[in-house]
Chain A
Amino acid sequence: MSEAVPRPEAENPDDGEVLHYPRDGGNDGPIVVANEFVDVVVRKVQTRNGVRLEIFSPKHNTCVRFDAVALDCLSYQEPEFITSLLARSPAP
Chain B
Amino acid sequence: MATDSAGTRTEAGLEGIRDGIAQGRFPAHVFNDREIFDTEQRRVFSKAWCFLAHESEIPNRGDYVTRYIADNNLIVARAESGEIHASLNMCRHRGNMMCKSEMGNASHFRCSYHGWVYKNSGELVGVPYMKEGYGGRIDKRDWGLVKVRTDTYAGLVFGTLDPDAPTLEEYLGGFQFYLDLYLKQGSSGSEVHGPPDHWVTETDWKIAAENFSGDGYHTPVAHQFGFNLGYFASSGSTHSQGWAASIPGKGHGIGLGHTPGFPPFAGFPEELAEEMRSSLSPEQVEVFSQTRTAVGTVFPNLSFLMQPFSIVPGEAGVRFVTMRLYHPIGPGRTEMYSWCLVPKDASDEYKQEAYRAYTLAFAQAGTFEQDDLENWARVTRSAGSTMARNIEFPYVMGMDSTPDPDFPGPGHVVTPYVNDSNFRNLWSRWSEYMTGRV
Q: Measuring CB to CB, which residues of chain A are less than 8 angstroms from any residue of chain B?
A: 2-3, 35-38, 79, 82-84, 86-92
Contacts and interface: CB of A to CB of B under 8 A. Distances in A.
Given A3-B130, A79-B80, A86-B117, A36 B125 contact: no
A90 B80 contact: no
Contact of B126 (A35, A79, A87): A87
15 contacts: A2-B129, A2-B132, A35-B105, A35-B106, A36-B99, A37-B109, A37-B110, A38-B110, A82-B107, A86-B125, A90-B110, A90-B116, A90-B117, A91-B117, A91-B126
Contact of A83 (B105, B108, B115): B108
Contacts of B117: 86-87, 90-91
B87 to A, nearest CB: 15
A91 B110 contact: yes
Given A35-B106, A86-B108, A90-B115, 18 more contacts: A2-B130, A36-B100, A36-B104, A37-B109, A38-B110, A79-B80, A79-B107, A82-B107, A83-B108, A83-B125, A86-B117, A86-B126, A87-B140, A90-B116, A90-B126, A90-B127, A90-B128, A91-B110
A44 to B, nearest CB: 23
A91 B106 contact: no
A4 to B, nearest CB: 9
Interface of B: 80-81, 99-101, 104-110, 112, 115-117, 119, 125-133, 140
B131 A3 contact: yes
Nearest to B115: A91
Contacts of A3: 130-131
B126 A36 contact: no
Q: Is the interface of A mostly helix, strand, loop or mixed?
A: loop
Contacts of B99: 36
Given A90-B115, A91-B117, A92-B115, A35 B128 contact: no
Contacts of A89: 126
Contacts of A83: 108, 119, 125
Nearest to A4: B128
A35 B140 CA distance: 24
B80 to A, nearest CB: 4
Contacts of A88: 126
A36 B106 contact: yes
Nearest to A79: B80
A83 B108 CA distance: 8
Which residue, B106, B109, B125, B126, has most C-beta atoms of chain A within 10 A? Answer: B126
Which residue, B101, B104, B117, has most C-beta atoms of chain A within 10 A? Answer: B117
